[in-house]
Amino acid sequence: MPRITFIHSQGKSGEVPENLTVLEAAEMLGFPMEHDCGGNASCSTCRVEVMVGGEHLSEIDFEEQDLLDREALTEPYHRLSCQAKIHGDVMVQVPEEKWGTTESVKEESETSQS
Ligand code: FES
């Protein structure tokens, strides 16, 4: 079975059945990941950065590419964990804080300055 590693301060690593999505693997290993749209490729809160083993993930389909393009996530290591299926060992980086839109990041920084 493929091994997946989530790089995060509370990250997990473990073997999971092939063809699970990265998000499903996280749930199976007890690692909570954001997934605001429920895995429907419409929110991008589940996105990860693939550090190792990108070639062991399923190809990016039209829906995933469309959302990555709209979010300006054009680097090949950006993937939506709800869409990327695992076919071999992979290591992904998960942000410590929830991904935010430009608006919410701006609001947070304004709030923290006051
Ligand atoms: S959970 Fe929304 S895009 Fe993956």
Residue 42: what pLDDT?
93
Residue 101: what pLDDT?
45
Each residue's pLDDT tens digit, 77-96: 999 999 999 999 999 999 88
Residue 26 CB-density burial (10 A; 0-12 exposed, 13-18 middle, 19+ buried):
buried
Q: What is the mean pLDDT of the chain?
A: 88
Q: What are the structural domains, with CATH classification, of the chain?
A: 3-113 (3.10.20.30)
CA distance 83 to 61: 8
Q: Which atom of ligand 1 is nearest to the CA of 41?
A: 3
CA distance 69 to 16: 29
Residue 104: what pLDDT?
45
Structure tokens at 99: 């991904």
Measured CA distances, 78 to 62, 93, 107, 110 (Å): 15, 10, 24, 28
Whether ligand 1 lies within 6 angstroms of the CB of 46 is answered as: yes
Whether ligand 1 lies within 6 angstroms of the CB of 24 is answered as: no
- 7 membership: H or E segment, kind and range: strand 3-7
Whether ligand 1 lies within 6 angstroms of the CB of 35 is answered as: yes
* Residue ranges of the chain whose pLDDT lies below 50: 101-106, 109, 114
Which residues have C-beta within 8 Å of that of residue 28, sequence separation ≥ 6? 14, 16, 20
